[in-house]
Amino acid sequence: MQATAYTYDPETRCGSVLLDDGTPVPFDAGAFDAGGLRLLRPGQRVRIELADAADGSTGEPGRRRVTLVTLQTF
């Protein structure tokens, strides 16, 4: 799935993306590290993978979480 980088903190490696419908979805350092990125700028198009937070991870059941964020290449 594609999204747009919205926020990113290089110290914590956490941030959020905006889905194409404008919905913000946060990501943690694990999702950022899984993509192999070193830096992310707001406005960059990214490819993400989502999982339901009820899959055994922490978070509210039914909420989506990003498991991978990497740059979108054409």
Longest CA span, the chain: 34
Q: Where are the domains of the chain?
A: 2-71
Looking at residue 58, the DSSP 8-state letter turns out to be: S
pLDDT per residue over 43-68, tens digit each? Answer: 999 999 998 866 555 555 567 889 99
Q: What span, in angstroms and rounded, lies between the C-alpha atoms of 26 and 1?
A: 15
Q: What is the dihedral of CA 65, 68, 73, 74, to 10 degrees?
A: -50
Specify the pTM: 0.81
Amino acid symbol at 39:
L
Which residue in 72, 74, 73, 50 sits closest to 63, CA to CA?
Answer: 50
More confident residue, 33 or 74: 33
pLDDT at 3 over 90: yes
Indicate the helix (H) or strand (E) that contains 71.
strand 64-71
Domain 2-71 class, CATH top level: mainly beta
